[in-house]
Amino acid sequence: MRIRSRRVANRAVLVLAATLVVTACGAGGGTGGTGADDAADLDVSVEDFLTARGEELGVDRISVLAQSSPQADAIQQISGQFTELTGITVDWTILDEQSTENRAAVALGSGDGGFDVLQTPSGFIPTYVDRGWLQPIGPLVDDASSIVPGWNLEAFGEGTTSLLSRDDEVYGVPMFIGTQMFYYRTDVFEEHGIEQVPTTYEELVEVVHEVHGDDVAGIALRTAPSPSQLLFVWSAWLYANGGSYYAEYDDGTYSGSALDSPEAVESLTTYTDLVQNYAPSGATNWSVDDVTRAFATGRVAIVQEGAVFGGTFNNPDSSQVSGDIDAFTLPAGPAGSFVPYNAHGWTIAANSDATDAAWLFTQWATLAQTLTAATQTDANFGAPPLADVYSSPEYEAKYGFNDFVPAVIGTIDIANGGGVSPFEDDPNYLPATTDWATVGQQIAEELSKAVTGQVSVEEALRAASTYLE
């Protein structure tokens, strides 16, 4: 009797559990469509070339993997034009940042492919190239018969293309530049009688102290423990203060740790003090979404964020502070001005069986006319990789609030003037080592402990430094 009762009870438990487990499953993803409403204003010669090349290649479709972002969303919106001209259908897979990285790793790492073209952040280039996952662009560029009239790799500038290179070989065509500037609330500055934007980090700290209040916090910065969050923002502060991650750089090789230097200690101390005492509550573990949301909802007076967010911040549909904002370039430190700088490129998978069609798409997607048209879509694509686009009247009309465009151009000037890396010949903002994904993550986690007050700045930097030795 007892045993039977227990069996009944156990069975009831298992049946109920099985039911609940089955209902708790779920998955997500998405494939984009196409449309030609905002098509690029292409020259007739370009259109003729695309049509002829499309017929010549005889490829029905290519698959593209991209991050859900203004740059990819904008190109996807107008990619109907590419299909219309070439007859090549573009199958889009657009996922959030993390899912895209995971999907790319599985597709490329398995060698089975599935994607012809991938949106690849510059930080992944060393790893992807060293593993043989990407095709070099050089041989494709050298084939003059495959080049779309008016398209030129050199137009993107060496500073940008070198971010997508490995051992002097280019592996991606820039589709977006990721750089940063400071956005600020003009109404808050006026309220506190601040007329000049800060030009040095010392002035910046003073201004943050001045404008910080109960309703509107002084500043918000990325602090989440990740190379793309805390390290991406803080590194510009580190370099401007004369610090660096590695002690030496020679012909692509980094050596020795410099992360426990007095310059690094001072820089991280300043950063930590600001996010602990002059940022909204909880901002010591914030990522880009948290920072941009805080600024767009009016909770913060100053943020250091991507140039790509200018359109979003000044759009009344997505921001409560539109019309009351302006921007300035990152200030200077004792070692000068440095800016976070990375690029995302359209890369072609090494195992693609439609390389020529993928190459044709890559060129169309990075033509000046295509990029200009992309900036005019509702995706708020404000950070194209071509300087020509920034000086176009269309760009100025859509994004030209106050000093935003001069700030973007000023930021690119700093980057082109060597303000990306503390080492003269290094084009990379964060060290381009094959194991940076691991080492960068470990460093970010150690520094996060100081930012959240678990350990002292000195202890955190000392621990982080061991990963570089």
Residue 12 or 397 having the CB closest to another protein: 12
Taking CB under 8 A as the rule, does residue 179 contact another protein?
A: no
Among 30, 106, 191, 206, binds another protein (CB under 8 A): 106
Taking CB under 8 A as the rule, does residue 125 contact another protein?
A: no
In one-letter notation, the amino acid at residue 153 is L
Number of residues assigned to the chain: 469
| Distance separating alpha carbons of residues 125 and 131, to the nearest angstrom | 10
| Distance separating alpha carbons of residues 383 and 468, to the nearest angstrom | 32
| Distance separating alpha carbons of residues 175 and 386, to the nearest angstrom | 9
Shortest CB 85 distance to another protein, Å:
36
Residue 3 or 144 having the CB closest to another protein: 3
Q: What does the DSSP assignment read for 410-434? A: HHHHHHHTTTT-SSTT---SS---T
Give residues 244-273 in contact with another protein (rule: CB under 8 A).
none
| Distance separating alpha carbons of residues 459 and 95, to the nearest angstrom | 38
Taking CB under 8 A as the rule, does residue 68 contact another protein?
A: no
Taking CB under 8 A as the rule, does residue 277 contact another protein?
A: no
| Distance separating alpha carbons of residues 107 and 114, to the nearest angstrom | 6
Among 270, 438, 465, 468, binds another protein (CB under 8 A): 438
Give residues 70-89 in contact with another protein (rule: CB under 8 A).
none
Shortest CB 93 distance to another protein, Å:
17
Token pair of 428 as six digits = 């990379």
Taking CB under 8 A as the rule, does residue 397 contact another protein?
A: no
Contact 337, 331 (CB under 8 A): yes
Segment interacting with another protein, rule: CB under 8 A, options 124-132, 162-170, 379-387, 424-432:
124-132
Nearest alpha-carbon partner for 314 in 404, 233, 179: 404
Shortest CB 316 distance to another protein, Å:
21
Shortest CB 228 distance to another protein, Å:
10
Q: Give 368-373 contacts, CB < 8 A, sequence gap 24+.
A: 368/150, 368/155, 369/40, 369/41, 369/42, 369/43, 369/46, 369/150, 370/40, 370/42, 370/75, 370/78, 372/40, 372/41, 373/38, 373/39, 373/40, 373/41, 373/78
Among 50, 177, 224, 236, binds another protein (CB under 8 A): 224
Residues 6+ apart with CB under 8 A from 282: none
Shortest CB 14 distance to another protein, Å:
7
Number of residues that bind another protein (CB under 8 A): 53
Among 131, 143, 315, 394, binds another protein (CB under 8 A): 131
Contact 327, 168 (CB under 8 A): no
SS3 336: strand
Mask for 278-297, x = binds another protein (CB under 8 A): --xxxxxx-x--x-------
Contact 195, 254 (CB under 8 A): no
Shortest CB 24 distance to another protein, Å:
7
Q: What is the per-residue burial (b if ≥16 Cβ within 10 Å, else e) of 394-406?
A: ebeebbebeebbe
Shortest CB 215 distance to another protein, Å:
10
Among 202, 416, 418, 449, binds another protein (CB under 8 A): 449
Give residues 306-325 in contact with another protein (rule: CB under 8 A).
none
Among 29, 33, 111, 323, binds another protein (CB under 8 A): 111
Taking CB under 8 A as the rule, does residue 213 contact another protein?
A: no
Among 127, 180, 261, 428, binds another protein (CB under 8 A): 127
Residues 6+ apart with CB under 8 A from 203: 331
Residues forming the site for another protein (CB under 8 A): 1-3, 5-6, 8-10, 12-14, 16-17, 20-21, 23-24, 26, 98, 101-102, 105-106, 109-111, 127, 130-131, 224-226, 280-285, 287, 290, 299, 437-438, 441-442, 445-446, 448-449, 451-454
